[in-house]
A and B are shown apart, each in its own frame.
Chain A
C-alpha cells in the first residue's frame, strides 16, 4: 500500500536481472544499447534475446547520446503529487541515432519550445546512489 507521503517521492527504477548492467552503465555516464551479433538489430529495452531474430548473442555498446524528438507531450497536469512541482514539463519520445526509441524528459530547455525532429543530447542525471536517469537537453 502506498502512503500519501510516499506518493511525493518520484518512482525510481529498481534494477533487475535484465537491467542491472544497463543502470550500472548509466551511473558511469553511458547509455548501453543491446546489439545483436546475429542480425545487427539494436535494442534499447533490455532483455535476454533479440526481439528481431530471437538470438541470445547480444552485446552492450554505448550509444552516441545523440537523437531527435520523434514525438512529445508537454504535461500540465501531473500524474500524481510527485511530479506536481515540475509542471509544465516535456515528456519526449526520443529516436536515438542508432535507431531505437525511448521515453525520457527534457532538461535544460523550455518545454514549450520543443518541436518535432529537434536534435537532443543525452544528459546522465544522477538521482540516487544506484540510479542515474537518461534525460535529454536540446543539442
Chain B
C-alpha cells in the first residue's frame, strides 16, 4: 500500500537533542535515574528546558516494577506532559518510539517529545525480577514447557539460515569481531579488548549455533532524545537537526512456530515502507544501526534491509562490507555485542550513534560525509520489526 503524499511523516520532525547515561556496569542507579541522566543530557544538547517538553515516550524496564514507565519517568523528572505512552514491542520498541513520536508531532498530539529509556539488566535485576524475565519470556503453553529461552528462537533462525544458504560459524563470528573493533574507538564502551574469530568459536556454546561471544552483552544504561517539529527546530535555531525521513514497522507472528519464514523477516516490509516514505533506497544509506542481539541477526538483517541479496549476508560480512570502507558501515559504536545492551535502551544506542554520525561528531569513528542513516530495531524472535530512516538537512 502506498502513502498518500499529504499523510507522509517525511521531513516533518527532527531530532534536536541526544543524551546517553553512563553505560556498561553502572551499579546503584535505578532505571529511572539512568533514564533521567540521559534525558537531562538530551535537553542540554538541544538547549531545551524541561517545561518545553509536552510529550514523553518511554520503553518499559525489566529492572523496574513500574508498568507505566513513561508516567513514572515524568513524575521523577518533574514534568507533566500532555502526551505520554510506554511502548512494548520488545527489541523493536526503540524505532517505534521514534516513529510514534514523529506521528504524534505531525498529527498535533505534541510539539516536543522526549523519547527515553533506561534499564539496569546487569546490576539492577533483583533475583525475583531476573527469574521472572527468564521464565515468562515465551508462551506458557506452547513454548516454555520445552525450556526455550528467547535466545533459542533467534538461534533456530540462524541455524536454518546456515542450512539454506551455507552461512558458516566463522561468518557469524566475524560480526562480533568487527563490532568489537568498532567499540575499541567508542568512549565508554563495555567491551574493548580485541577478539578473533577463533575466540568466538571457542567461547563456549550457549544455544547452537550461538557461542557466548555470538550473544549480546548484558548491561546497564539509558538514552534519551528530543524530537520536535521542523518549525520548532528552526525557531530554536538548532545547528544540526537530524530529520526523520522514513518510518516502517511489521509484525509477522507472535510464536516462533508461526513465523512465516525462518530466514526472511518482517524487516523486509518495515524497511521497504521506510525507504518508500524517505524516497531513498538501501544503496543511498551512508551508515546503519542494526539491532544485533546475536551475530546471525545482523547477517539476516543486512539481507532483509536490502544491503545485500538474500543468502549472501555471511559473505557480505566476511568481505568487510559492514565496516569502514565497505558498502554500509554498521553499528560503528560496537552495538549490543560490544558497546552495551541494557534491553530496549540498547536499541536506542543505535539511534544515538547514527544521530551523532549524521551530525559529524564521531571523531575517529566518523563515516565521511554521512548524510543518510538507517536504524532497525527488532525483537522477540523477529516477531517485531521497526525501521527509521534519518537524514541531514541536505537530504530533505
- A contacts, CB < 8 Å to B: 1-4, 7, 10-16, 19, 44-45, 70-83, 86, 89, 91, 93, 100-105, 116, 127, 131, 133, 135
B262 vs chain A, min Cβ distance (A) = 6
Out of A1, A44, A79, name the residue touching B257 (CB < 8 Å). Answer: A44
For the A-B complex, the count of residue pairs with Cβ-Cβ distances under 8 Å equals: 119
Given pairs A4-B127, A86-B147, A101-B257, 15 additional interface contacts (CB within 8 A): A1-B132, A4-B131, A11-B144, A12-B145, A13-B140, A45-B142, A73-B207, A75-B147, A77-B206, A79-B134, A79-B151, A89-B147, A93-B256, A105-B147, A116-B163
Out of B137, B156, B255, name the residue touching A91 (CB < 8 Å). Answer: B156
Out of A80, A86, A103, name the residue touching B135 (CB < 8 Å). Answer: A80
Interchain CA distance A117-B153 in the complex, whole Å: 18
Q: Which residue of A lies closest to B208 (CB)?
A: A74
Interchain CA distance A10-B148 in the complex, whole Å: 11
Say yes or no for B3: interface residue by CB 8 A criterion.
no
Contact present for B257 and A13 (CB under 8 Å): no
Say yes or no for B155: interface residue by CB 8 A criterion.
yes
B144 vs chain A, min Cβ distance (A) = 5
Interchain CA distance A111-B368 in the complex, whole Å: 49
A4 vs chain B, min Cβ distance (A) = 7
A93 vs chain B, min Cβ distance (A) = 5
Q: Which residue of A lies closest to B156 (CB)?
A: A71
Say yes or no for B160: interface residue by CB 8 A criterion.
yes
Contact present for A11 and B145 (CB under 8 Å): yes
Contacts of A103 in B (CB 8 A): 142-143, 146, 148, 255-257
Contact present for B258 and A76 (CB under 8 Å): no
B225 vs chain A, min Cβ distance (A) = 33
Contact present for A70 and B160 (CB under 8 Å): yes
User: Scoring B residues 130 to 171 as 1 if CB is less than 8 Å from chain A, else 0, what string do you get?
Assistant: 011011010011111111110110011101100100000000
Say yes or no for B369: interface residue by CB 8 A criterion.
no
Q: Which residue of A lies closest to B204 (CB)?
A: A76
B124 vs chain A, min Cβ distance (A) = 17
Interchain CA distance A60-B45 in the complex, whole Å: 61
Interchain CA distance A71-B127 in the complex, whole Å: 32
The verdict on A78 contacting B147 (CB below 8 Å), with A2-B128, A7-B135 known, is: yes
Say yes or no for B72: interface residue by CB 8 A criterion.
no
Contacts of B152 in A (CB 8 A): 73, 75, 79, 91
Contacts of A100 in B (CB 8 A): 257
Could you name 7 residue pairs across A and B whose Cβ atoms are closer than 8 Å? A11-B140, A11-B145, A70-B262, A71-B156, A74-B208, A91-B148, A101-B257
Out of B128, B131, B135, B262, name the residue touching A71 (CB < 8 Å). Answer: B262
Say yes or no for B205: interface residue by CB 8 A criterion.
yes
Interchain CA distance A35-B56 in the complex, whole Å: 46
Contacts of A11 in B (CB 8 A): 135, 140, 144-145
Interchain CA distance A10-B146 in the complex, whole Å: 9
Interchain CA distance A39-B143 in the complex, whole Å: 27
Contacts of A82 in B (CB 8 A): 135, 147
The verdict on A76 contacting B205 (CB below 8 Å), with A11-B135, A71-B160, A101-B257 known, is: yes
Contact present for B140 and A7 (CB under 8 Å): no
Contact present for A13 and B127 (CB under 8 Å): no
User: Scoring B residues 195 to 225 as 1 if CB is less than 8 Å from chain A, else 0, what string do you get?
Assistant: 0000000001111111000000000000000
Contacts of B258 in A (CB 8 A): 45, 101
Contacts of A80 in B (CB 8 A): 131, 134-135
Interchain CA distance A70-B143 in the complex, whole Å: 16
Contact present for A14 and B205 (CB under 8 Å): no
Contact present for A73 and B135 (CB under 8 Å): no
Interchain CA distance A70-B144 in the complex, whole Å: 19
Contacts of A2 in B (CB 8 A): 128, 131-132, 135
Interface centre among A10, A19, A71, A77 (most CB of B within 10 A): A71
A87 vs chain B, min Cβ distance (A) = 9
B150 vs chain A, min Cβ distance (A) = 8
The verdict on A79 contacting B147 (CB below 8 Å), with A14-B140, A71-B160, A93-B256 known, is: yes
Interchain CA distance A16-B139 in the complex, whole Å: 13
Out of A14, A71, A72, A73, name the residue touching B141 (CB < 8 Å). Answer: A14
Interchain CA distance A10-B144 in the complex, whole Å: 9
B201 vs chain A, min Cβ distance (A) = 14
B100 vs chain A, min Cβ distance (A) = 27
B379 vs chain A, min Cβ distance (A) = 16
B352 vs chain A, min Cβ distance (A) = 30
Contact present for A102 and B257 (CB under 8 Å): yes
Interchain CA distance A78-B142 in the complex, whole Å: 18
Instruction: List 3 A-B pairs, minimum CB-CB distance, nearest first.
Output: A79-B149, A13-B141, A73-B155
B90 vs chain A, min Cβ distance (A) = 16
